[in-house]
Homo-oligomer: A and B are copies of this chain.
Amino acid sequence: MPEGLQDGPNIALIASLVGDPARANMLTALMTGAALTASELALEAGVTLPTASSHLAKLMDGGLLSVASEGRHRYYALSGPQVAAMLEAIMGVAASVGPKRVRPGPREATMREARVCYDHLAGEHAVKMMDGFVERGVIVRDGRTVTLGPLGASYFAMRGIDTANLGTSRRPVCRDCLDWSVRRSHLAGALGAAILDRILAEKWARREKDSRVVAFSPKGRTAFERTFLA
């Protein structure tokens, strides 16, 4: 069947790369434009590190991703805007074709509410919190880059988080992370991680074993809201 057809280039190869659920999740996670590490992407895709590594190699080989080694981390990103445009187009078709909403399910519901995204909080609570930060000028958003606002340092200091200390690592203090359950974004970066630490340390919520779910207790939730949503 050597059939010399193939109008344009190898469309099937590219599409099949996106056609695997794990890889599709990784790619959508990278749609923020931010670069993510292999571990973060593994978590986002719901697979183990070796599996993720294999997928990343394939995506690299297919030219969809670029990588930057930094210390012992490897930051993966979409190789260019063309790839992002393609993903948008596919999303467009997928959205128009089928509401296809899989039943939310009980597990999904709690996941939507609050879950861990690598090392920070994601889900509705996280999105609300992020919105509040921006509205109050604690955090300033410029497109997809977010930074600590003028009121930020004192705001977090009052809540027991020393933002100055977070700047030590190479990691950005603030980063924006797209939420799959809501169409909005939440706070990642060192600050996002610190906030989650605080939530767990205060025992406002606990992590379910072997799951990304973060389960708030009733009074934990109100404490959290009083602290970070007001």
Chain A residues at the B interface, C-beta cutoff of 8 Å: 1-21, 23-25, 27-28, 31, 44-46, 62-64, 79-80, 82-83, 85-98, 100-102, 107-108, 111, 178, 180, 183, 212
Contact = CB atoms under 8 A, between A and B. Distances in A.
A49 to B, nearest CB: 14
In the A-B complex, list the 9 residue pairs whose CB atoms are closest, starting with the nearest: A3-B46, A16-B19, A63-B97, A9-B94, A15-B18, A12-B24, A19-B19, A89-B89, A8-B91
Contacts of A8: 28, 91, 94-95, 180, 183
Given A82-B92, A86-B89, A108 B11 contact: no
Given A11-B27, A15-B90, A86-B86, 20 more contacts: A5-B44, A7-B111, A7-B212, A9-B98, A10-B98, A11-B24, A11-B28, A11-B91, A12-B21, A12-B23, A14-B90, A14-B97, A15-B16, A15-B17, A16-B19, A62-B97, A63-B97, A63-B98, A82-B183, A85-B178
A63 B44 CA distance: 27
Contact of A93 (B7, B24, B82): B82
A80 B93 CA distance: 9
6 contacts: A9-B100, A11-B91, A15-B16, A16-B18, A85-B89, A86-B89
Given A93-B64, A178-B85, A19 B15 contact: yes
Contacts of A102: 4, 6
Identical chains bound together, number: 2
Q: Which of A17, A83, A90, A100 has the most CB of B within 10 A?
A: A90
